[in-house]
Amino acid sequence: MSSKPDLDQLQRRIGYQFRQPDHLLLALTHRSFGNQNNERLEFLGDSIVNMVIAEHLYHQFEKAREGQLSRLRARMVKGVTLAEIGREFDLGRYLRLGSGELKSGGYRRESILADAVESIIGAIYLDSDFETCRQQVLRWFEERLQSLNLQDTQKDPKTRLQEYLQSRQYPLPRYDVISVDGEAHAQTFHVSCVLPSLDRKTSGVGSSRRIAEQQAARSALKSLGVEND
């Protein structure tokens, strides 16, 4: 959110040290901030992440059909997934936004976070080379790629919960981090899932915020009687 974000801290979070920090600064700059913004980097990063994920899936699932590979790739590169990665980096606090976006909470907006993640990918490519960029993308997506299974095409718990609530015109759930335990390299996240309109609150625990949120969403589905064990 700051006009002068702590780039050193962010670089540690994403696991890449820029030779030219201005590349990263530009990737964090939303169009509402000024004419020099991350839209071109986003275009570049979007193409790169699609290529890298497509290549990985091609080798990971050697017997998969084209349609299956396309669906798996769509799951990986959709805005929701990219925004989740952005939240794991706590990216919102580093974004450079115009006053209007700041006031409206743009640093939390899914589309802005997703665009910024793609922009950072584009920035890493310009700052290094394709292979370095490829390794970074695969590292960021590693946990999600490992969890993919051709036999299990069911949507993840957070998506199922969201669709259940939307179909009944209920407000979307709110996920709050209750606590984070352990050292930086081995943290445990405790997260709550709050459904205000239904007066329900569940919890989840995991080695990442994403996993903990999925666990909390799964518990919410069970408490609503939507799913069983």
Give bridge partners of residue 192 from the DSSP assignment. Answer: 176, 203
Q: Where does CATH 1.10.1520.10 sit in the chain?
A: 7-146
How many angstroms separate the CA atoms of 92 and 70, rounded?
30
Given the residues 66, 84, 88, 118, select the one marked as catalytic. 118
| Residue 46 falls in the annotated catalytic set | yes
Q: Domain 7-146 is of which CATH architecture?
A: Orthogonal Bundle (1.10)
Mean pLDDT (10-residue bins), the chain, 229 residues: 68 95 96 94 97 96 89 88 92 92 84 95 98 96 88 72 91 94 80 91 91 93 81
DSSP designation for 208? S
Residue ranges matching CATH 3.30.160.20 in the chain: 157-223
What is 157-223's CATH number, 3.40.50.620, 3.30.160.20, 3.30.1330.60, 3.30.1130.10? 3.30.160.20
Strand, coil or helix: what is 151? coil
Which pLDDT value is given to residue 1?
46
The H-assigned helical ranges of the chain are: 7-14, 21-27, 39-60, 66-77, 79-88, 99-103, 110-127, 130-146, 157-167, 209-223
Give me the catalytic one of 6, 8, 22, 46.
46
Is 42 marked within a binding site? yes
pLDDT of residue 149: 81
Q: Is 152 a catalytic residue?
A: no
The DSSP bridge partners found for residue 195 are 200
Looking at residue 151, its pLDDT comes to 64
Residue 121 burial by Cβ neighbours in a 10 Å radius (0-12, 13-18, 19+): buried
101 annotated as a binding-site residue: no
